[in-house]
Each structure stands twice: as structure tokens, then as C-alpha cells.
Structure 1
Amino acid sequence: MGGLTLTLLLLCLSGTLSEDAGEDNLNDIMVQIQPEQGQDIENEYKTHNQHSEQDQDIESEVIFKQNQAPSLPETNGSCQPDMCNLLRHLGAMEARLTTAENQVEELSNMEAIVALLQRETEFQAAQLRVMETKLSTSENLMKSMKRENDVQERKLQVLSFRVNATEFRVEQQQILLDELRRQSEDGTKIAFTAALGGDGHIPPSERETNLAFSNVFTNVGDAYNPGSGVFNTPVKGVYYFSFSSFANSQHNVCVSLFRNNVRMLSACDHHTEHDSSDSSGNGGTLHLEQGDHVYMTLHAHSHIFADFQNRSTFSGFLLFRT
């Protein structure tokens, strides 16, 4: 269609066609066109007459191109008006076809761009899913680490409490050591240990009696009296006392430690069929004033055994002065 249009347009522009020759040549050209193509051209021509407003711009463009074409020698001949109109409409159709082809090409390019953008969008969506998975994993890891940190924090709190308690005990021990060191530097040293003298058990009495531990092993400071069994407190301070008692298998044993006629500590062991011997003991610290008396007693109807093994004893010493 484009080649035919160009041929007709050149014939019209050359001016070589006379009226008779133009008709003959036009007839020859139209004979070459198939009947169906001729009918299509005629229909297209009628259609373009109905769209004159749309073709006006294209026709102006064709006329402009004709004016820009190289000038041909003028002849006395010219194309028929209908033929010229047909040629102009054919040129307009060709211009519209070119425009449509350009639009189709642009549309094809746009489709390619859209497809590329779709692939890019799918790729970004896949990356987003991967990032969401990583983010979820990171959040779970952070939660797990937070729980672990909470556990560690509680453990640290417990350890802190233990450290504080240990530090407090260390401070108390340091205070005690300092006091003992001070007392040692003062030169006040008081300590004694004594055992019951004699051979065999001491028989029971109807009333509670004092015990005199006459077998003295240590008596630093001479505060203990082995004749009476009484410890006379030489200086005010905290003292530690301990005692033990022993009886054979057929008797009960029960003894007490007194401070100034006040019972402070006791220890007893009662006879049973399965005992081969009976023994008891006790000990503790007392805060004494200077001149206080500390001694041991044997309960009424109670036995105690004294022999060379020294299993019944009485001891005491000064911890620190106050």
C-alpha cells in the first residue's frame, strides 16, 4: 500500500499526466489493484471523508512535505481532482499507519519495561521475605538473650547478697581479731582447764552440790581456784566456758554451770539398758563483770565419775575485754 501511494503521489507531483493520459494511466494503475483492494480503498476514502477534522492536520503535513520536495518542471498536465483527493487521503492513511506503528513500538517497549519492573518487584518481594525471616529470627534471638540476661541478673543479685553477707562476716571477724590483738597487746591473758580428781565415781547427794575440779592442767592468770572449783573473774569481758561429765553404765549424770548463783548451762545423760556409759557436755560465752563467780554443780541424785582418764572437765578463757 505504501509503494502504490508513493507512485501515485510522484505522478501527480510531476505534472506529466494530461487529462486523457492521466485517465489512461490511472486506469492502468487501478487495473493492477485487485477488485477487493479497490473496494477497500473506496471504503477507506469514504471513511476519511467522515473524519475530515482528524485528517486535516495530516493533510497539512503532506502538503508541507510536497512544498519541501524539489521543484519539478511545470507541465500543462495535472491529475484529476478525485485522484488528487485519493492520493492525499492515501498519504494521510500512510502517516496514520506510521504513527500507529510508532505507538505500537512504544507500547511494546512499555510492555518490556513493565515486565522488567514486574521481575524487579518480584525480586524485591523475595528479598523482603528473606529480610522478614531474618528479622523474625533476630527478634527471637533477642528475646532468648533477654531471658538469659534476666536469669544472669537474678544470679548476680543472689551473688551480690552473698558477697555482702560474706563481707559483713569478714568485718565482724576483723573486729574480733582486732579486739583480740588489742587484748593481747594489753597483756591480759586468762585461761584454765581442770579435771575432777580422785578415783571412781562421786556418790549422789540429796541436794545439789558444788564440784571442785582439782586436777589443774592450765591456769593462766590464776583466776580459777582448784580448792573450791570457783572461777573468779579478774577483768570485765566476754569469756568462753565448756564442761564435760562422765558416769558409768548404771547411773545418771547431770551437771550445771552457774554464774553468781544463777544457772546458765546444763548437760545430762540418763541411764538406759543399752548404754555402756553415760556422758554429757555443753559450752558457751558469758559476758562477765569483774568479781563474778563461775562454778559447776552436780544435781541431786546424780553420779559423776573421776579417774586418771580425766573424762569430767571444766575449762574457760577470756575472749576479749569490754
Structure 2
Amino acid sequence: MELRALRDMVVELNVHMELLQRENSDLQTRLSSSESELLISRFRIDQLERENAVQATELTSLGTRLTATESKTSDLEKENADLQTRLSSSESRIDQLETENADLQTRLSSSESELLISRFRIDQLETENADLQTRLSSSESELLTSKSRIDQLERENAEKPKVAFYTALTDAGQLGPYNTDITLKYSKVFTNIGNAYNPSTGFFTAPVKGVYYLQFTVFGCSAGHIGVRVYKNNQRIMHNWEHNNNDYFPEYFTNSLVLELTAGDEIHLVLPSGHSIYDNSDNYSTFSGSLLFTL
């Protein structure tokens, strides 16, 4: 604003100087053409000179002011150049900041996108976690129920009798044939849980009412008949036999039974008259059984 005002003052002074120059030129013309009028107009000239002196003084003052103005203008121009430099630096910094801001906007958009994805994944994981918690609670409840059932079954199983036996006949080799039926006494006892089998008599006695699984294997290596009969309480319930025509080729067979027995029922095997059976340390002929479940 000060620079503009100074410029306006300079323009005004220039205009004023031009006016003075035109007046002076006119005076010179009038002086040349009218020397006679010069004498008459000395008073006027003196007056003009005084005015001119005043104007010269004013002009000098204006020159001084103009010089000061020019100095101030120079200072202002320097300041303006400095401001331009600073403005250029600011504009450069602004461009840099705009570039950084654009980069930040891009990164922010990317971060916001990643944040949305993360939030979606978090929601998904929270949903999955809630589902897993529900399933875990259900599993824990089922596990408690299962443990309770297992404990109950273990108590029930502990209360149930355990019956299982496995025996072999003899180490003496061949038995029979005889002229009469004989009870087979399986003297080699390998398993006798519950002590339900008596090797002295060859009898298995059911300790409780239940369903029992019984199995026997009969082996023979001489010509003739091999076989056994199964008795329940001295009542024959099965007869198995095989005929061997060759002394050099042994014969054997295996059979099994599932019987419902009451406490005290007895099972034993009989070698029929005219039949033989063979056993030795290899335990070819065996008799075994176990309690499947009580009734």
C-alpha cells in the first residue's frame, strides 16, 4: 500500500513538473516577444520567481522525499524479493506437504481398508469364538455326562462278576479210545478268573445268571474217531466227532456255544467210548469260556 501511494505521489509530482515546465516555457516565450512587457511585469515576474522559489523548495523537498521513497521502495523491493523467496520456499513446502498429504491420504485409505478388513475378520473370529465357546460348553457338558456315565458303568462293572477261563487237556499225549464215556479233566489252567472252572473235576460252574460263551478244540492224530460231547447239568446238549482214516494226517475241529446259564449250572466235556483225543505240551486240545453279560 505504501509503495502504491508513493507511486501515486511521484505521478502527481511529474504532472505538476510538466505543468511548471509548460508555464516556464510560456514565460520564456512571452519574455522574448514582450521585453517591454517585462519591465511592466517585473512585479509579476518577481512574484512568479518567489512562487517558483517556493515551488523549487517544494520540488527539492519532493526530491528528498522521492529519494527517501526510492530508498524505501528499494527496501520494499528487497523485502518483496525476500518475501518472494520465502513465498517460493513456502510454495515448495506446500507442494511437498500436498504430496505428503496425498501420500498420507493414500496410506490412510489403505489403512482404513485394512482396518475394515481387520474389523470384519475380528467380527468373524468373535463369531467363530462364540460358536466354539458354545460347542466347548456343549462338549464339556457332554464330557461331564460321559464321565458320569463312565463312572456309573465302572461302578456297575466293578459290581459285576468277572468270569473267564482257558485250559488245555494234558501233556500225556493220546487219551482213548475207552470202552466207556469219561469226563475230560482239562488239567492245564492258564486263565481262571472267578475260579468258576475246577480242574480236579473238569466242571465249569456258572457263578451268576447270565449269558456265557464256551469254546473247545479237539485234536486227534491216530486212525479212528475223535470227538467230545458237551453236557449241561449232566444233560447232553452237543456231540461233535471226526473220523481219521490215516495215521499220518492229524484231524482237529473247533466249536463254540453261547448258553444262558443260571447260577449253579454246570458244563463239562465227555470223551465218548470208542473215541480218542490227543494233547501234549503244545496244547492242541483246549476248553475255554467267559461271561458275556449278566441277566
Place the TM-score, normalised by the shorter chain, in its bin: 0.3 to 0.5
TM-score (norm 2): 0.46
